[in-house]
Chain A
Amino acid sequence: MTLAFRYRPIPDSLIARWDARWKLAAILVAAGGIAALNHLTSAAVALALGLLLLVLARLPRMWAFSRLLLFAIPTLPFLLVLPFTLEGEGWDISIPSFSAGANWSVHVSHVGLSAGLAVFCRGVTIGALALVLLGTDQIHHTFAAAHKLKLPGLLVQLTLLTYRYAFLLADEFRRLRIAMRTRGYRVRSTRHGYRALGHATGAMLVRGADRAENVTAAMRCRGFTGTFHTLATFRTTFADVLGFGMLVAATIALVLWDRAGLS
């Protein structure tokens, strides 16, 4: 399980060839619609759709699975808690008790289980859509597309800088950790352990601030005035519009079906 989206070759697929602007717009609409689903059945259909897109994207299986877990884990508490906290019809499960004469039972409601599973399906589907978006194009191309869709240039520039320097700072932190280990440091739950970790984090922040100043100077020396420019070019084809239309139509159909009570 990992968060990193390091540079790697983009596998050729229908989705990789989809114009980044239309793809971004369609996936944003789909994510919004899926987040609004209430019922388990519609959420399960959405999950199937999300996984289908993931398969069509032809992303490396382990790469996609390990990152999908990240989206699944935050939804697990809902799955574990809602069946026991929401009222309604369901099953009573007896729990053996150590004290004589006492009889414990836990009520698991259908409604709660269904609500928990719906949250799980929605979370994983949105994760799958995010992976489709991030895995089928270079990140700077996706953000250039966001800029074309009127996301402010400064925000795009800041996001790209954060993306670039996150790796650099992570690498510096790794070197710092190695330096600490060579001097006998091991992560322990002691006062000294926490102090050392605090100092290392502080050093990283100071280095980060220092680097930010240097980067600003380098950008200004090359004429940066706050406007985002990119070499990325986009061309719309009929297939791009068709892909957008299909995903948006599927999302609208799912939402309407869900709102109509799945009748």
Chain B
Amino acid sequence: MTQHSVLSTQHLTHRYACGRIALDDVTFALEAGECIAIVGPNGAGKTTLFLRLCGVLAGKPGQANVNGLDPALPEHRKKLPEVVGVVFQNPDDQLFSPTVEEDVAFGPLNMGATPTEAKSRVAEALNSVGMPNAGERVPFQLSGGEKRRAAFAGVLAMRPSILLLDEPSMFLDPRGRRELIGVIRALPGTKLIATHDLDLVLDTCRRVLVLDSGRLAADGPTETLLADAELMEKHGLEVPYRLRR
């Protein structure tokens, strides 16, 4: 962990109960304000990494540091939701309340905010994702893009300094995807994006980590790594159309 890093892992390893090793000796660090992408084939360990970083999956202490908190320690884990926000792959997993307003307020209320304070955070978060009048709407009746933005709002309302976005462009049409890129660019704080969408990576991240079979295969500038046809092919990826010569 460098002096300015807000998130780092040191030889992070995760083995599931069935014996499968999902993460194997992963070491990296994120500086404050950085936006980094994690790319890799299905089953590379991207989601497991996120679940370890936000403390949902238990692990050995000392392998991860999130803004000074160790997600493996129960006393630190309680404070993690205020520091790190996770936007999950499928927004339907995240929008569990009967209305968008109740859903966005879920986190702040859990953190002890008063209803008045929570309402003001809801308004602020919905504004920042371009859905100022969606509070009374029912998540079930939102479009794919709207669900994704409502899920973002739910996380932004917690005001986390670090955002983990798991496959944010999944289920989105081109318009929804374009809107999402705008939202990601406008989001404050440090961002870690796990995705297969390499064009989205080109539009939003300056640095890329390549994860394959739980191991960190490469770490470097976005355009350099994504243009490396051999590296991309070796790890089940493709050079984005824009970088093909």
Q: Which residues of A pack against B, CB within 8 Å?
A: 6-7, 138-140, 160-161, 163-165, 167-168, 171, 211, 214-215, 217-225, 227, 229-231, 233
Q: Are A218 and B93 in contact (CB under 8 A)?
A: yes
Cβ distance A125 to chain B, nearest Cβ, rounded Å: 28
* Main SS class of interface, A: helix
**Which residue of chain A has its CB nearest to the CB of B110?**
A223
Q: Are B98 and A233 in contact (CB under 8 A)?
A: no
Q: Are B86 and A221 in contact (CB under 8 A)?
A: yes
Q: Are A229 and B93 in contact (CB under 8 A)?
A: no
Find B94's partner among A168, A218, A229 (CB 8 Å cutoff). A218
Find B81's partner among A7, A139, A211, A222 (CB 8 Å cutoff). A222
Q: Could you list 19 further interchain pairs (A-B, Cβ under 8 angstroms) beyond the known A6-B140, A7-B98, A7-B140?
A: A139-B98, A163-B98, A164-B96, A164-B98, A214-B88, A215-B93, A215-B94, A215-B96, A220-B56, A221-B81, A222-B85, A222-B110, A222-B158, A223-B78, A223-B111, A224-B106, A229-B110, A230-B102, A231-B105
Q: Are B109 and A225 in contact (CB under 8 A)?
A: no
For window 93-113 of B, CB contacts with A under 8 Å fall at: 93-94, 96-99, 101-102, 105-107, 109-111
Q: Are B96 and A161 in contact (CB under 8 A)?
A: yes
Q: Are A160 and B98 in contact (CB under 8 A)?
A: yes
Tell whether B138 is near chain A: CB-to-CB under 8 Å.
yes
**Which residue of chain B has its CB nearest to the CB of A168?**
B92
Find A231's partner among B56, B115, B154, B155 (CB 8 Å cutoff). B115
Set of chain A residues within 8 Å of B110, measured between Cβ atoms: 222-225, 227, 229
Find A223's partner among B81, B90, B98 (CB 8 Å cutoff). B81
Tell whether B7 is near chain A: CB-to-CB under 8 Å.
no
**Which residue of chain A has its CB nearest to the CB of B98?**
A140
| Cα–Cα, bound, A56→B80 (Å) | 50
Tell whether B51 is near chain A: CB-to-CB under 8 Å.
yes
Tell whether B82 is near chain A: CB-to-CB under 8 Å.
yes
| Cα–Cα, bound, A164→B82 (Å) | 26
Q: Are B98 and A211 in contact (CB under 8 A)?
A: no
**Which residue of chain B has its CB nearest to the CB of A167?**
B140
The size bracket of the interface on B is: 35 or more
| Cα–Cα, bound, A229→B101 (Å) | 13
Find A222's partner among B98, B107, B118, B122 (CB 8 Å cutoff). B107
Q: Are B96 and A230 in contact (CB under 8 A)?
A: no
| Cα–Cα, bound, A246→B65 (Å) | 61
Set of chain B residues within 8 Å of A215, measured between Cβ atoms: 93-94, 96
Tell whether B54 is near chain A: CB-to-CB under 8 Å.
yes
Most buried by A among B85, B98, B115, B119: B98
Set of chain B residues within 8 Å of A165, measured between Cβ atoms: 96
Cβ distance A235 to chain B, nearest Cβ, rounded Å: 13
Cβ distance B195 to chain A, nearest Cβ, rounded Å: 18
| Cα–Cα, bound, A222→B139 (Å) | 17
Tell whether B224 is near chain A: CB-to-CB under 8 Å.
no
| Cα–Cα, bound, A229→B92 (Å) | 20
Set of chain B residues within 8 Å of A6, measured between Cβ atoms: 140
Tell whether B141 is near chain A: CB-to-CB under 8 Å.
yes
